[in-house]
Each structure stands twice: as C-alpha cells, then as structure tokens.
Structure 1
Amino acid sequence: MSRTDTNSTTPRGALARLICGQICLHGSMAGMRMAAPLLALRDGYSALSVGVLLALFSLTQVFLAIPAGRYADRHGLLKPMGLGVSSAMLGAGLAVLFPNFPMLCVSALLMGGATGVAIVALQRHVGRAAQDATELKQVFSWLAIGPAVSNFLGPVAAGLLIDHAGVWLGGTAGDTNGFRAAFLFMVFMPLMTWFWVRHTQELPPVVHSEQTRNAKVWHLLREPQMRRLLLVNWLLSSCWDVHTFVVPMLGHERGFSASVIGTVLGSMAVAGASVRVLMPLVAAHLREWAVITGAMVVTAVIFAIYPLMMSPWTMGLCSVLLGLSLGAVQPMILSTLHQITPHALHGQAIGLRMMTINLSSVLMPMLFGTAGLVLGVSVVFWTVGAMVGAGARMAWKLRP
C-alpha cells in the first residue's frame, strides 16, 4: 500500500491495522451466524426457519451493496466503516437484551448490512492503493486473511461462551445466559474495529474523465469476462454458505456440542488463513484463472465425500481441505475484478460482486432448509458440489 493511505511509518503496519479491524467486525458477524441458528434449534425451530434466519444476514447486503460502493467511491473509507461499526454493535446488543427468534432476525439484518458496507469500503481502499497486478494479488491475499481468521475466532469464541458461560453464572451449558454472553462478546468486537482503523488517512479522490463521469456499474455486465467472474464467484460463495448452514445441522443431528461445531467451522477458516499467508510470497507466479479453476475441481470432490464423514475428526479434516481450496479464491477474484474495472467504478464493482453473492446467500439457505427437510442435508452438499464441478469450465474461460 502507498504511504499516502495512512499516517503509519510503514505500509505493512497500515495494512496490518486494516486487517485487524476487518477481523473484529467480520468475526462479530461470523460468531452471530453460528450462535443464532443454535439458539433457534435449541428453542425448537425447524431447519427451514434456521435457513431463513441465515438468509437475513445477507438480505440487507443485497440492497445496500451497490449504494455502499457508490458511497465509498464518494467518501472513502472512514465514514462507511463508522456506519458499519455502529450498526453491528446495535445488532449484537439487541440479541443480548432480547435473545429470541424475532430479535435474532433483526440482529441478522443489522449485522449483515453493517459488515457489507464496511467491507466494500475496505476492499476499495486497499485495491486503489496497490500499484500493479502482482501487488493487487499480494494485498488482497493479506486482506483475505481477515475473514479466514474471523471465521475461526467468531464461531469458536461463541461456542465456548455458549457451553461454559452459563455454568460460570450458576446455570447449565447451553442455557440462555451462555447465549447472552456470546452475543455480548459480539458487541465488543466491532468496537475494536474502530480502534484499529480510526487513524487511517484517506486516499486522494478519483479524478473522473468524461467517459467515467457518466458510467454506471450496470454497464460492466455487458463485458463477458465480468459475467463469467460473477458466475464463478457466485458458485464458490455458495460453497461457504452451504458449509456454514449444513455443518451445524449435521453436528446437531449427531449430538456434537456447540464447541465442537464451532471448531469444525473454525478449522476451515484456519486452513483458509494459512493458504492466504503463503499466497503473497508466490503472487508473481500465480495466474488467477488457474487458481480459481483448480479450486472448483477440488471443492467438488470434497463436497462429494463430506456427508459420509461421521466423526468430528473426519469432518474437521474435510473442513481443513475445503478451507485450503476455497481460501485461495477470494484474492484471485478481487485481483481480476480490479483489473477489468475502471478506477472510478471500483467501489460499485465490489458492491455488484457483493450484491450477487449475497442474493445467493439470501435464497440458498432457504433452499437448503427446504431441501434439508425433504431430501436430507447430505443431498444439499452433493448438489452444490456438482454445480461447482460443472462451473469449472467457466473459470477456465477467465484466461486473458
């Protein structure tokens, strides 16, 4: 990153602070996404209800993604981040005060929207600061470590608090006080985000040309490469959604504790973070289209065998392998996106990508819930795996 983007003495320190802020905010939502379905299941709600609840984490992002990108293009980083932090704290705070299904739905809407607005601004800021294609892959690989770490930190912390905080307070494991403690931790995490990012210096505004002044993000859909990229990104993001949805269902059916379920989910995140740590070191040798195609093929194979794994250890192993595969994808997607998008539309292009994947995240959990009731959750894994395998040919066509 350029030295103009922060008052830090080193670009590496500036990027590290942004990553820490992202971890805290995204970790809050990840913990809520694990804890809220478990509370709903404990209270007797069906798989379909859980699917609706999970879909609400993405619903606000569908409508806010492109306006958030436009807002970031106009105002930079700090204003969107401030809005995101405030909304996430409000959402988690409501769940602390009223731990019931209707309020969890409100919390999901607030926390999902908060994270979306903040992440669009953050990705735009980091992408603008990169100098060339290799640096794009490097900085987005580092930035992608954030969600991987937060997807471990949030669910594991929430699971431990759910299992133990109630006991510490004189109750039992998994009681309402345990869930309140988990939600309270989710209030604290976004506050730490502001601590990390508040001193970041804004980049200079984009100077518009005559062509870009009137350009609209929808014009990008006329480009075949953009359409392919969005389709591939949708298929791969569906894999994260199905894993987040099905693993708690499988774990609940098999009698696993909240800590074990959180650890299985978190192991995927740790693996994703590990591969993203290595990617900046070899970024100059990576080709975006090759990494994405390989990840789709490997993911299809893992999804075929995942439902057959009956113990936490074997499920955890599949989760790790899935994390290694999918963890390499996001930096390549974002690098490609920035290379095929005009600078003046970077924020809106990121918003378009986010809108696409979150529209999927709204619809797919409800579809997963319906399919889980009718056909069983294993069929969900196999169906999505087949779709991803078939989509690998589309990723191959992303070659320049």
Structure 2
Amino acid sequence: MVLTYFLVIQTLYSIAVQGTRPIVSLFADSQGASVATIGFLVSAYAFFPMLLAVKAGKWLDVYGARHMCLLGSIGMLVSIVGPMLFPFVWTLFFSQLLMGFCQICVLVSLQKTVGNLPGNRDNLITMFSLTGSIGELIGPMASGFGYEYMGFRFTFAMAAICVLFPLLSCMIVPKDFWKSAAASQMKKRMDTSSSWNMLKHSNLRKALIISGLVLYSKDLFVAYFPILGTQAGMNASDIGLVLSLVAASSIVVRIIQFRLVQMFGRGEILTATLVISGISFICIQLTSIPIVFGIIALFLGIGLGLGQPLSLTYAMNVSPLDKQGEVLGMRLTFNRFSQFVSPFFFGAVGRAAGVSAIFWSSGIVLLLGAYFTRMRKMEAESVHATGSQGQHSEELPALEKEINDSTPKKTNEIH
C-alpha cells in the first residue's frame, strides 16, 4: 500500500514534468525564439538545482521527506500555472527556474523514502524508475496531442492537475507513510565537507559522472529532437510519439535491470549505457525518415534507461542513512550541472553548424565518457543490497573509512 502510493504520485509528477518540457521548446520555437534562446531555456531548468541540490539533500535529512515533498509540490504547481496564465517566452524562463529547484525537492524526497522501504533496494529503485519511465511515456505523448489540437494553455492545465493531486494527497495521507525517510533526530550543521569527501571513492565518482552524462543526453533529446523532427516535416503528435518510444524502451529494459546486473555487473552495464546512447545520437541525425527516428529512439531508450536507476542504487548503497539526502543531492548536482552547461555548449554548436551537429557532437561526448568512466571491479558491492533502514552495501564500511581518514575531526557528524 505504502509503496504503491509513492509509485503513483511519482508517475503523476513525472507526467507533469516530462509533458511540459518538450512543449516549452515547441512553444518558444513557435514564438520565434532562436536555437540559442531555447538552449538558455533548457539550462534554466538546471540552474538552481546545480547550486542548491546538496543543500536540498541536507534539508531532507534534517526536516524529513514529507515537508520537502510538500514544498516542492507547491513550487511545481506555481511554475506550471504561471505560463498557463501568461503564455510568453519570459514566463517560460521563470517557470523552468522554479520547476527545476522544486522538482529536486520532490525527487530526492521520494528517492530516499522508496529506497529505504523494506525489501530489496535494486527492486525498489527499479520500480521507482519504472514509474518515471511511464511518466516519460505518457507525458510527451499526451502533451504532444494536447498542444497540437487544444493549444498551450490546455496542455499546461493538464500538467497542473497532475501536480495538484499528489500535493493534496501529501496533506492527507498518514505521516507514517514517510517514516522511512523521516527527519533525523540528530541536529546537524549545514556543511558540505563529508558529502564531497565521498567523491574520493572512485567508482561512486564515476557513477555520478555517468548519471550526469545520461541525464543531459536525455534533456538534449527532449529539447532539440522536436526541432530536428519539425525540420524533417513531422508534426507535434508524431514528435511526441517518438519521445514516448524512448520512454517505452526504457520501461522494458528496466524490467530486466536486476537480471542484467546479476549477469554482467553494475559497472559494465553503466559503461554500456553510454556506448549505446552515443551511437544512437550519432545515427539519429543521419536520417529524416520518421520510422527510422522511431527505431533509433528505441535503442536510445535502452541506453538512457539504465544509467539513472543504476547510479541511484549505487549512491544509496554506499551512503549512511543519515547522509543519504546529501549524497542524493550531490548526485543531482552532477546531473543538473551537466544539464546546465551542455545547452550552452551544444547551443553554440547548433548556432554554428545546425541542429544536426548537436546530435553527433553529443554522441562523441558520450562515447568519450564511456571510455574515461570505465569502473574498477566492484569487488565489495552486493547486488542484493536491501532497502531496510540501517542496512547498506558491503562497500559502505570502506567508504566511511575513506571519509573518516580525510576528516578525522568530524567522525561524529558522519555517523
């Protein structure tokens, strides 16, 4: 019952976010915005999370998941209603800035809550990520048809309803639902030293980098494929269908995620995600045939579908319970940094060489990332890490030792 509730509200949040983001690009393009301006819009979504994700994670550890989820939900609702009432490009910037920060408040709250429910953590995170993929499947498809036939305001109104229901339910459901990520009983100082010292763990560092590369790639595809598709003669509903195919293949591959990890290992799968994604990005700008776009989108979904849940599980496995919010925030800092910086770089590439150049250059970056983030054998990692409170991967003691060695005077703050 508890797990089902969180999976349902995560699906609704995901529908709202993933449904509005491609419409932001399409609407800005219809208003005459340049490729560079659209790049700034994409970056705006990641600006505040890039700066404040670790802080939000610490707030989560101190104040608990319920309060953070309520705060984020209210902000998300405002960010959607604003452009709905005032449909201008400048309100889209306000919307994306606010949406970006509030969405991480909701996301880290749900990640920590679900990841610490009783049960196998790999399975819990797989189910959680599947709901996100369902939102990515439904959101762009529904918003594409809604935008084409009903207009911008209608599309954002539907997204607002998707956020309003979880917001109201957070106020109604028993507080016991949130006990797996309740506020810490220990008062903490708001410092970042212990969090960033975890980056001394090389495999964790590489997992966070891979997570950032995968997420920026997904964002670039959502932001710039609508433009590439429009140039190829596709309409908004067809573009929405292609974006939904990425989510559909992500759902399929995440269903078998646990078995893949058992067969090949987490590090090998993480590297493979970048290779498949890089090749897909290079290939997609070589055609203008909608059916071929759809086939490549399926492979892209396979590549992008595993990077996020695997890096999330790994980050939670190697972090103490009372520091998980910080580590999840640090992971989101990597993600949002890549989301913030990449549109500037690739927007400049697109301005100089066209939209197609954005895709092949991004593909090259992903392939280079696959080479330089190859992981050492995770000898101590347990595939069967559980989500119960107080239980972590067998890598945790070694990681805590690294932290303690680097900050000997702050041992009590870590534990």
Do they fold alike, i.e. is TM over 0.5? yes
Please give the alpha-carbon distance, in whole angstroms, between the structure 2 residues aligned to 1:154 and 1:125: 24
Stretches of structure 1 that go unaligned for 5 or more consecutive residues are 1-12, 166-177
- Cα shift at 1:285: 4.5
1:373: which partner in 2? 351
1:287: which partner in 2? 265
Code of the aligned partner of 2:146? L
Give the % identical residues.
24
Contact 1:238 1:384 in 2 (8 A): no
Code of the aligned partner of 2:318? I
2:142: which partner in 1? 157
Please give the alpha-carbon distance, in whole angstroms, between the structure 2 residues aligned to 1:223 and 1:289: 14
- Cα shift at 1:65: 1.0
1:254: which partner in 2? 232
Please give the alpha-carbon distance, in whole angstroms, between the structure 2 residues aligned to 1:326 and 1:310: 22
C-alpha change, 1:161 and 1:264, in structure 2 (3 Å) is: same
User: Cα deviations across residues 25-78 of structure 1 (Å, max 9, x unaligned)?
Assistant: 122121221111111111111011111111111112112311211111112221
1:22: which partner in 2? 10
> Is the counterpart of residue 343 in structure 1 residue 321 in structure 2?
yes
Residue among 122, 127, 130 paired with 1:137: 122
Contact 2:215 2:308 in 1 (8 A): no
Residue among 40, 64, 71 paired with 1:76: 64
1:321: which partner in 2? 299
- Cα shift at 1:209: 12
- Cα shift at 1:206: 5.1
- Cα shift at 1:254: 2.0
Contact 1:289 1:395 in 2 (8 A): no
Please give the alpha-carbon distance, in whole angstroms, between the structure 1 residues aligned to 2:340 and 2:21: 13
- Matched residue SS, 2:281: helix
- Matched residue SS, 2:233: coil
RMSD of equivalent CA atoms: 2.3
1:146: which partner in 2? 131
Code of the aligned partner of 1:66? V
2:179: which partner in 1? 202
C-alpha change, 1:42 and 1:143, in structure 2 (3 Å) is: same
- Cα shift at 1:196: 5.4
Contact 1:76 1:125 in 2 (8 A): no
Q: TM-score, normalised by structure 1?
A: 0.87
1:186: which partner in 2? 159
Residue among 372, 379, 383 paired with 2:361: 383
Stretches of structure 2 that go unaligned for 5 or more consecutive residues are 379-415
Runs of 4+ in 1 over 6 A off after TM superposition: 207-210
- Cα shift at 1:318: 0.8
Contact 2:268 2:375 in 1 (8 A): no
- Cα shift at 1:15: 1.8
Please give the alpha-carbon distance, in whole angstroms, between the structure 2 residues aligned to 1:396 and 1:76: 35
Contact 1:229 1:398 in 2 (8 A): no
Please give the alpha-carbon distance, in whole angstroms, between the structure 2 residues aligned to 1:356 and 1:222: 15
C-alpha change, 1:209 and 1:46, in structure 2 (3 Å) is: closer
C-alpha change, 1:208 and 1:398, in structure 2 (3 Å) is: farther
Contact 1:292 1:332 in 2 (8 A): yes
Please give the alpha-carbon distance, in whole angstroms, between the structure 2 residues aligned to 1:318 and 1:88: 32
2:279: which partner in 1? 301
Residue among 75, 79, 101 paired with 1:113: 101
User: Cα deviations across residues 323-356 of structure 1 (Å, max 9, x unaligned)?
Assistant: 1222122221112112222222111111011011
- Cα shift at 1:398: 4.2
Please give the alpha-carbon distance, in whole angstroms, between the structure 2 residues aligned to 1:22 and 1:71: 20
Matches within 5 A, 1:203-282: 203=180, 216-280=194-258
Contact 1:67 1:348 in 2 (8 A): yes
Aligned length: 372
Please give the alpha-carbon distance, in whole angstroms, between the structure 1 residues aligned to 2:89 and 2:246: 27
Please give the alpha-carbon distance, in whole angstroms, between the structure 2 residues aligned to 1:19 and 1:46: 38
- Cα shift at 1:99: 0.3
Contact 1:237 1:357 in 2 (8 A): yes
C-alpha change, 1:45 and 1:340, in structure 2 (3 Å) is: same
Q: TM-score, normalised by structure 2?
A: 0.84
- Matched residue SS, 1:216: helix
- Cα shift at 1:307: 0.6
Contact 1:81 1:117 in 2 (8 A): yes
Contact 1:18 1:196 in 2 (8 A): no
- Cα shift at 1:223: 2.5
- Cα shift at 1:112: 1.6
User: Cα deviations across residues 250-282 of structure 1 (Å, max 9, x unaligned)?
Assistant: 012223211111111111011111222333566
